[in-house]
A and B are shown apart, each in its own frame.
Chain A
Amino acid sequence: MKILVPVKRVPDWQIKLKLLPDGSNIQTDGIKWIINTFDEIAVEEAIRLKEKGLATEIVLVSVGPADVRQRLEYALAMGADSAILVKHDGPADSDLASRVIAEVFRRGSYSMILMGKQAIDSDSSQTAQLVAARLNLPQACFASKVTIENESAIVTREVDGGLETIKIPMPCVVSTDLRLNEPRYAALPNLMKAKKKPFEEITLDALGVSPDVKVSIKKLSLPETRKAGRKVGSVAELVAALQGEAKVL
């Protein structure tokens, strides 16, 4: 069973983001990049399926500029087998990403696409569903547990109100939630070895995917910040303030 794991590179969530003066983008010069947190969980899950003997091969795919390679190498060091970088410097949206992932899927014989439920930069939570629909495949999004039994995936999904368990036939698309697993760290020797793993670079053109996007960012701005209020000295003072000033009690 071959698993395709799409990976997006995003700014480290621990850094404070700054905007370019014209608001066209965030400042990306010299910032620290990471693998999208949810994608890292997907990589980890694929590796665990392989360790259990359920998966045979893990292929990574990413769309982005040449230096996304380093992030893919990190995921290879975690334990993925090979990577495809679809080089693209221009703007990308989830529609473009979904067309790339669908095309790569069609070129392999994959049983599953395992990917993050959302990218922590755009926070849209839609690419996995777009991919599934494009390929007419079943989906199980927001997974907190994945098992495989007789050509089916049994997935526990985090939904409003609690948990749902669904069984879908493979091939299928599964998107990962935070509680699925805790990703391992790639060990240093593995980082060296990862550079020798198969790594394919391909252009959108060669893949036959158009660079058009359906959603474009016109402007980014900072949200209104909330002013810090005040500290109260006691429960009595708090209750008085909630009743008097704030009128919420």
Chain B
Amino acid sequence: MAKALIFIQHEQGKVSKGSLVAVSAARQLASAWGCDGLVGVALGAGAKAAATEAAGYGLGTAYFSESPLFEKYRAEPYSRAIALAAREAGASTVLALASSTGKDALPRVAVLLDAAQASDIIGVNGDGSLRRPMYAGNIIADVELAPGTRVVSVRGTAFPPAVKEGSPGAVQELNVSADAELHEQPRFGEILGYEMSKAERPQLSDAEVVVSGGRALGSSDNFEKVIFPLADALGAAVGASRAAVDSGYAPNDWQVGQTGKVVAPKLYIAVGISGAIQHLAGMKDSKVIVAINKDPDAPIFEVADYGLVADLFQVAPELTQAVLGARS
């Protein structure tokens, strides 16, 4: 019988919450598809620590490699190493969180393993078919993957994060020389730099509260004056609509929606966002949705639990004060 391999994504050795989501999805898949256990692989600086941590979540073996090849994420060496770990472990299923890295690397793994690939799944059906959103979440598809090896990326909001269980599995270094192509090659490319947004607040993808601003904010200054204080009063992450990002009011990785991040916090507050389907695709599974919009007919009110028809520049600061008051 074959294993299910999880690509463990981590931040300097700390396993990401999203990878724990992939572990719990792997458990569901393993039972639907008859795999006989979970294994994992972590790559890059801190991979050994990440593998050791991940091994505590019911993995039989957690592979790692801290080879300089994996110092910075690049699609080709990463996908090769994941495929190598899958072969080494005898895995017939490979999973990862559908983060930008997971989405970038997994299809390559699928080709290397001659596998079927399904992206961004939100559920596993009893008959082994998978559920995934299509058409900006307007339609849910049940899809069947051809027999053989299968590669699956998992939506971070769709499964609960795994909890520690059993006795920790083995932690084993991946023998990267087993793949003759896996040494520094010009075609792997060279990272020239990063421009990361400052992490002053909780991460958008796993925050409990998200405050998002739309085009109505009108400037990045107004994001700072109106959205940030409200977010900070709530201990929230900040999100944005595509219009706000395109206009330069907010950085690209704050975009929530079909082509941005998918979030499902306990509380989502949409400020000056109309509620286009592409935006809803990224937040409509939030537990409680609040919308502030001056247009009573804005489509955002069709999904909001609480709607406040008002000028955001007046009521958002009021809300900030009220939250601070309620909290103290």
Contact = CB atoms under 8 A, between A and B. Distances in A.
Given A134-B111, A165-B194, A239-B323, A125 B139 contact: no
B119 A221 contact: no
The main secondary structure of chain B at its interface with chain A is mixed
A177 interface: yes
Interface string A205-227: 00000000111111111110010
Contacts of A144: 252
Contacts of A159: 100-101, 253
Interface stretch (B20-28, B38-46, B142-150, B167-175): B142-150
B139 to A, nearest CB: 5
B117 A158 contact: no
Given A95-B117, A120-B258, A125-B103, A214 B146 contact: yes
B3 to A, nearest CB: 20
B253 A160 contact: yes
Contacts of B191: 164-166
B259 A232 contact: no
Contact of B76 (A118, A138, A157, A230): A138
A235 B186 CA distance: 58
Interface in A91-117: 94-95, 98, 117
A238 B104 contact: no
A230 B305 CA distance: 6
B133 interface: yes
Nearest to A235: B318
A122 B100 contact: no
A220 to B, nearest CB: 5
A17 B189 contact: no
Contacts of B101: 159-160
Contact of A222 (B140, B186, B187, B246): B140
A130 B195 contact: no
Nearest to A26: B139
Interface in B112-127: 112, 115-120
B190 A167 contact: yes
Nearest to B148: A214
A243 to B, nearest CB: 6
Contacts of B111: 98, 130, 133-134
B219 interface: no
B240 to A, nearest CB: 13
B47 interface: no
Interface of B: 74-76, 79, 99-101, 103-108, 110-112, 115-120, 129, 133-146, 186-197, 199, 205, 209, 234, 242, 245-246, 251-253, 258-259, 261, 266-267, 277-278, 284, 287-290, 296, 301-309, 315, 318-319, 322-323, 326-327
30 contacts: A11-B135, A17-B135, A123-B134, A126-B119, A130-B107, A130-B111, A133-B111, A141-B104, A142-B104, A161-B197, A161-B253, A165-B193, A166-B191, A168-B189, A169-B186, A178-B242, A179-B245, A214-B117, A217-B141, A217-B143, A218-B129, A218-B143, A219-B141, A220-B142, A228-B303, A231-B296, A238-B306, A243-B326, A248-B209, A249-B234
